[in-house]
Every structure is written in C-alpha cells, then in structure tokens.
Amino acid sequence: MAVDYAPNPNLKIWLDGKLVPTAEATVNVFSHGLLYGDGVFEGIRIYNSRIFECDAHMRRFYDCLKAIRMEIAWTSDQIVNAINDTMKANNCENGYIRLVASRGPGTLGIHPFRTTAPNVFIIVDKIQMYDPEMYEKGMKIIIASTTRNHPNSISPRIKSLNYLNNILAKIEAIDAGCLEAVMLNPEGYVSECTGDNLFLVKNGRLVTPATHCGLLEGVTRGLILKLAAKRGIPTDETILARPDLYFADEMFITGTGAEVCPITEIDKRKVGKGMPGPITKQLMADFRAYIQSGGA
C-alpha cells in the first residue's frame, strides 16, 4: 500500500538565486538531472546555526562539479551565503542541508552540453535517519548482493544524483528487516554502505576501507579519523574482506545524516558482544563534544 510522504509545504527553498515556497520550487521535466541523474549534491548538517565542516563540503561539491564538467553561476562564498539565508528563512538552528546542482533542461538525449544553465537549489529541513534507540543499543545490517559501482564506471567519489546502485542495495536491507547494508566492490572487498562509511575495531585498532576500494570520502569519516588520532587510537585505511566484518570486535557507520551509529549485528552474526564497544562509544562522545565545542 502506498504511503504519502509529502515534503514540508511550509519551507522556503533557495532555487537559482531566489527563496521560494516549496510549491514553487520546481524544475523543468526536461532537466537532465531528472532525466539522466546528471548532477551532483551535498548533504550537510547544521549544528547550533553552524554549517558542519563547511569548507570540506564546499571543496567536495566544487570538485564534483569539476569532475562532471558542470559550471554554475555562483562561487563557493555565494553558495555559503545562500545556505545561511535559507537557514534563516526556515528558522533552522539544527537540521540538514541538501545542496543540489542539476544539469539544466535540454534535448531528449544524453548530450550534456545541449542544455541550458544548471539549476541549483538548497533545501534546509529536519532529518532523522535512524531511531534514537539504535544509537544506544546499536543496529543490525547485512552485506548486500548488489555490487558497488566500479570506480571506472562511475566513481563513488563523485556524489552524483544517480543513486540507483545504492538504492538497490538499500532495498535488500529493507527486505531483510534492516536499514543499512554493506556493499562490496567488484573484487569482493568492502567499499561502504548504501549511504554511510563503515568502520570496525579489531584488537584495539580502528579500521576502515581505503578510498581506492571504491567509496565516497565522507566528511564525517575524515573527522572520525582525526578524532581517533587525537585519542591515540591506531587507525588503518586498508582492504577489508567479508570475514573481517564477521571477526570484528566493534563496528559503526558514519555519515552526514547518520552521524556515528554503532553496528551490533551483521548477517545475523553478533558484532563483538552484541553491544556498542568502548572505542565506538568514545568516538561517539568525542564527535558530540566536537559539535558542542563549535568545531562544526
């Protein structure tokens, strides 16, 4: 049975330089972002009216634009100002930002340069990825059969509008009664989850897949590596196989929406003792402290 998950009608959306009501925030049906997934986006957190890791997000956004050869009319500073304007218009002190650049309307063909100027829009709203109880007790996940895109096909480092690869793995997770799934790369090694990066702890070492394993270099992932180094926790960015996940002492995911969430079961196998471990809890606490200190 279909369920109506309608967007908030009371939001103000920044669209191509103007703040407009949700109902007026529309794009042309000939937009290549809609027709072909030709565009990029950033998901960014707001904490205490601050844009979380703003510089890192802006660098990645413009790097992705460059990678797909899309030029927009606004500089990074102008986009940051637009985000702040949108936050104020929606009275949002703690929430989520979705920044999108979509190839503009064009011909019914994939030629990316037979289009008009790109559409750029900013949504600011609340977000809750997972039940609060999962952050205390942990969540269960699976390893999906859907393989992560080959980096030579479409690089996971480009945060593109085409998320069908991730969505197919997400469907597997939902069908299994989970909300997240690990995706393996074409060589069978661990890359990332459908929307989050993955960490495990083994013998006191914090381990995460290396970027060459085909994953998005998450901003929160990078912060956790810095916080671990500050704590003196040894870290490795390396190649991980399926058994490494089954043998882990602790496990957690990181992402803009997810923040830091412990994993306590994978493929119906307990992770460690089946509860969030000490290093996971320490890094979760350090992450919250970083936010509260204004580090964001």
The answer to whether the CB of 149 falls within 8 A of the CB of 191 is: no
> Which single residue is written with the structure tokens 């509008």?
161
User: Radius of gyration over alpha carbons of the chain, in Å?
Assistant: 19
Look up residue 219 and give its two tokens.
């901003």
Catalytic residue among 159, 202, 226, 281: 159
From residue 187, give the alpha-carbon distance in Å to each of 51, 183, 200, 247.
37, 11, 20, 20
Residue located via tokens 């901003």: 219
What single string gives the DSSP state of each residue in 115-165?
A: B-SPEEEEEEE----S-HHHHHH-EEEEE-SSPPPPTTTS-TTS-BS--HH
Q: Are 79 and 55 in contact (CB under 8 A)?
A: no
Residue 170 a catalytic site member: no
Which helix (H) or strand (E) segment is 246 a member of? helix 242-246
Rounded to whole angstroms, the Cα distance separating 168 from 162 reads 12
Residue 62, burial from CB neighbour count under 10 angstroms (0-12, 13-18, 19+): middle
Sign of CA dihedral 71, 77, 83, 88: negative
CB 267 within 8 A of CB 243: no
Using an 8 Å Cβ cutoff, are 149 and 184 in contact? no
Report the catalytic residues: 159
